[in-house]
Homo-oligomer: A and B are copies of this chain.
């Protein structure tokens, strides 16, 4: 099955919004054995949207659209599909009732123009959207499928997962594609490339190398007549890659660093506390992204200045002697976090990002430390790519080292 993705919205052509829906959908298609040949973005213009749709249906079996399902007049995806189908739109009473309920349950009333979102045509059936007011459309016509999904990523992704992908799976027989995402941290992309050598040149299975904020991801993909056969192709490559990347591997597939950290702390019944300056609370926020965080994360402190560090138990003398951005202060922050919050493990991080008079120091220097009664470790790094990159990279680095730290504690029998 050949697919094509169309993202609809003038904001995409203004450059203010980058179309991440298309790349997200692109990652979902291989597992279904669907080939993607084209992606495009078109503005909120009826004529151009219809043209784009027409060409897409000519050359593809499946056309996925995102965006343009909102209540406003420039949301034209329904209109474009109806025009392409040459079918009139009508208000579906059941959809209208759902919409009214949706607004009532939130204590509001439905604006008159939202009625648009209850419209269908003869060939279109609705796709549920519990996260928003815009139902999707599933259209079948002359052996082609058009699926219209809303633009907000969390509405679109939910609709894809629960409404669209299951329907497509039913239709598809044929090639199965399986893939495994290997997540690493700490090896630069070029080096990893060299280490992988000839493994990168295979046709089936293949390896893709992608740089992400939480490290380098490797996507291993294999195709075969059945899913089992595809896994048989993939497994030896996965074993080889795991061997090559070694200790820098931290997870696979849907794993997140905060999830891995959460599992380790929960399994061991340990607790965690943080004290941050350079990352301004991003590490605490990332740890708290794990739904179980409150069972092991005893709390975090954000302190951007020497006086607020001292107020939270960091030794003034160390700040005086080594400066706020120093290995020594990071270590004392980790210790102080542990002491104040009465936790098993403490994290401290300091860096130039939060200090405005950074002209005198190497920009992007970060020091962080992990502290436990039986073991302490300090780390230094440099992220000269600006404040936001520094925060993200440093948060990933800390969580990566934290999971290694906790694992090594257990290995050393220190728990």
State in angstroms the CA–CA spacing of A182 and B371 once bound together: 47
Contact with B along A1-27 (1 / 0, CB 8 A): 000000000111111111110111111
Q: Does A372 contact B (CB under 8 A)?
A: no
Contact count band on A = 35 or more
Task: Let me know if A285 is at the binding interface, CB within 8 A.
Answer: yes
A45 within 8 A of B: yes
Tell whether, in the assembled complex, residue B301 and residue A301 are in contact, meaning their CB atoms are under 8 Å apart.
yes
- Bitwise, A285-302 to B at CB < 8 A (1) or not (0) is 101110111110111111
Residue of B nearest to A3 (CB): B13
Given A48-B37, A294-B356, A308 and B299 contact (CB-CB distance below 8 Å): yes
Instruction: List B contacts of A387 (CB < 8 A).
Output: 289, 291
Q: Using CB atoms, name the residue of chain B closest to A217.
A: B16
CB <8 Å contact, B304 and A294: yes
Whether A293 touches B280, Cβ cut-off 8 Å, given contacts A13-B37, A37-B13, is yes
Partner of A388, one of B25, B282, B289: B289
Contact of A42 among B37, B45, B283 (CB under 8 A): B37
Is A71 part of the binding interface, using a Cβ–Cβ cutoff of 8 Å? yes
In the complex, are the beta carbons of B355 and A16 less than 8 A apart?
no
B12, B15, B154, B190: the one within 8 Å of A71 (CB): B190
Per-residue B-contact encoding for A187-204, CB less than 8 Å = 1, 0 else? 011110110000011000
Contact string against B for A residues 56-79, beta-carbon threshold 8 Å, 1 for contact and 0 otherwise: 000000000000001111100000
Whether A26 pairs with B39 at a CB distance below 8 angstroms is no
Q: Are A354 and B288 in contact (CB under 8 A)?
A: yes
Can you list 20 residue pairs at the A/B interface with Cβ under 8 Å? A15-B26, A17-B210, A18-B18, A18-B19, A19-B23, A19-B39, A38-B42, A55-B55, A70-B189, A71-B190, A106-B382, A111-B190, A279-B288, A281-B281, A281-B284, A284-B302, A288-B391, A294-B356, A297-B304, A298-B304
User: Which A residues form the contact surface with B (CB < 8 A)?
Assistant: 10-20, 22-30, 36-45, 48, 52, 55, 70-74, 106, 108, 111-114, 131, 133, 152, 154, 179, 181, 188-191, 193-194, 200-201, 208-211, 217, 219, 274, 276, 279-285, 287-289, 291-295, 297-305, 308, 311-312, 341, 354-356, 382, 385-389, 391
Known: A13-B37, A15-B24, A111-B193. 5 other contacts (CB 8 A): A12-B23, A15-B28, A55-B55, A72-B209, A280-B288
